[in-house]
Structures are given as structure tokens and as C-alpha cells.
Amino acid sequence: MSAVPAAGERPVTTATFRARKLANERIVVVTAYDAPSARLAEEAGVDAVLVGDTLGMVVLGYDSTLPVTLDDMLRHTAAVRRGLSRALLVADMPFLSFQISPEDALRNAGRLMAEAGARAVKLEGGVAIAPTVLKLTEAGVPVMGHVGLTPQSVHQLGGYRVQAKETEAALRLIDDCRALQSAGAFAIVLECIPAELAAIVSAELEIPTIGIGAGAGCDGQVQVWHDLLGLGERLPRHAKRFADAGAIIRGALAGYAAEVRAGTFPDDGACTRMEPGVLDELRRGREGLAHADREG
């Protein structure tokens, strides 16, 4: 069961996203992959939590997002759902869960919503997937688009690099965004594109843009949990480490190891003591057994 929103706290919806854009208020999105992290994100007041397929890299130890399965996303989305009450929960559609056909995409998006409790799904791609986005939005599935650096196409893009730096590619990206908006997407992630282009797109679209590596001119920002908190091995150029939780965790584990080795953990406060009567009885019982062994 997910938590219930506190009185007066209205859940964030796709309509909230649109209202924030109209009011010129920035939208805050962070990724999370489990219930306790989702709870912390919500307590910190973020607007939306994205169960990104970065799951594959930052949690499951793969070197790309390609091996992430729909089952992985269902399990982690359901976990995040249990930690949230107010923030909008968006689940990524993993590689090959939406590219095969619009019907297949609708079936898989439906599972993320009905079985795992997602309130929206995110798909990578532009003009080419607009018919799929239309199929989903017409069926009542809110869709967040994702253009620019689309990590599921890393091998086609030739690496994780900034996209749409040249005029032709920038114009194509603008077309992609227009197509997603026309197909009913409620927001679009702009990943690793020049800041000027992101600002142009953000000004032109009616729906909000959520940037990552796309400058401050977007309507909101998304960051990956492990980058933000210093838990990743490597910090991408577009990310900022707001805390070094890795150092805190390493320090805590080293303290634990030292106390176990010194025999000072667990101390008396962490132990349960036997009732004196029970202890006496136990000792007498053992003495009786030892005596019977000697006699026998």
C-alpha cells in the first residue's frame, strides 16, 4: 500500500505540470528505485519521482540501460509506489517494451500502471514513436517524452554525447518535440542538448520540458539519485553532487566493522537478557545432563 497524502497536500498530477509551466514555476524531478528513497524524495518536497531505466546502471550493475526488462521496471516501480503518497510517479518503458508495436506498448504501459501503480510512463524517441504516444494517450496513459541523448540508442548514437549541436539536428529535435506534444505527451525530457536549443524548445512548447544536461532554461530538471547524492562511481558533467552520501555510508560501515572486530558491538543496550530464574533452571538442567552422562 502506498502512503496516504497528508491533509491539504494535493497529489501532483499531469495537470499540475501544466499549471506549473503556466505559472512559470520550476518542476523538480528525481529518479528513485525503491520505497525508502521514494519516501525521502517526497519528504524533501520533490514534485515527481521517475523510476528510470538508469536502474540498470546505478542499481543492477549493467553498463547500459539495454538489459533492463519490463519485470525489473514492474518490481521497482511497485516498490517506489509504496514509498509515495503525493509526488507523481513516472515509470520508464524499457528497451523493446514500446518499439515493437503501439499495441505492445499499450499492453506494457498498462501493466506499469495497473500492476505497479505508475501514474505516467516515459518513452524515448520523437517523430518515429509519435503514433505509439498517440495510442497510449488516447487510451488514458499519460506519456512523458524523452529526446536528445536517448540512452537506449547509445550504440546508434555512438556513445553518450551531447546531441543536436548542428542546425539540421536541432531542427529535427524541435520537430520531434512538436510531434510528441501533438500526440498528447504531457511533458518532455530534454537530455544533453545545448542550453540555447532547450530554451527555444521550452519557450515554443505548451507542455513543460524537463532538462538533464540541457541548461536552466527548461521548465524543470531531473537528476539521477546516485549522481545527486554522491553514490555513483563517476559524476556525469551535467550532474551536481549535492551531498557525499557515499562517504557517510563508507564511514558508517567502517565504524560497524571496527566495533564488531573489537567486540564492542552489540553492547548491553542492544541485547536481550534472560530472566534470572530461567537462567538458573537452564544451568541446573545442564548440570543434571552432565551428571547423567558421567553415571551412564
Please give the Cα distance from 156 to 103 (Å, whole number): 25
**Considering beta carbons, is residue 134 or 149 the nearer one to ligand KIV?**
149
Q: Pick the catalytic residue: 191, 259, 287, 295? A: 191
92 touches ligand KIV by CB under 6 A: yes
Find the binder of ligand KIV among 12, 41, 174, 222 (CB under 6 A): 222
Based on the shown chain and the rule CB under 6 A, indicate whether residue 212 belongs to the binding site for ligand KIV.
yes
Cell of 235: 559524476
C-beta neighbour count of 33 within 10 angstroms = 25
Give 20's contacts (C-beta < 8 A, 6+ positions apart): 26, 27, 47, 208, 219, 220
Binding mask 167-196 for ligand KIV (x = CB under 6 A): ----------------------x-x-----
Which stretches within the chain are classed as H helix? 14-22, 35-43, 55-58, 70-83, 102-114, 130-138, 154-157, 167-182, 195-204, 225-228, 245-262, 276-295
Q: Which of 12, 35, 41, 52 binds ligand KIV (CB under 6 A)?
A: 52
Does 219 engage in binding with ligand KIV (CB under 6 A)? Answer: no
What is the distance between the alpha carbons of residues 160 and 154, in angstroms, rounded to a whole number? 6
The reply to whether 191 belongs to the active site is yes
CB of 54 to ligand KIV, least distance (A): 3
Site track 240-279 with ligand KIV (rule: CB under 6 A), x = hit: ----------------------------------------
> How many CB atoms neighbour CB 208 within 10 A?
23
Q: Which stretch binds ligand KIV (CB under 6 A): 39-47, 49-57, 103-111, 155-163?
A: 49-57
Q: Which residue is nearest to ligand KIV (CB)?
A: 52
- Contacting residues toward ligand KIV, per CB under 6 A: 31, 50, 52-54, 92, 146, 189, 191, 212, 222, 224
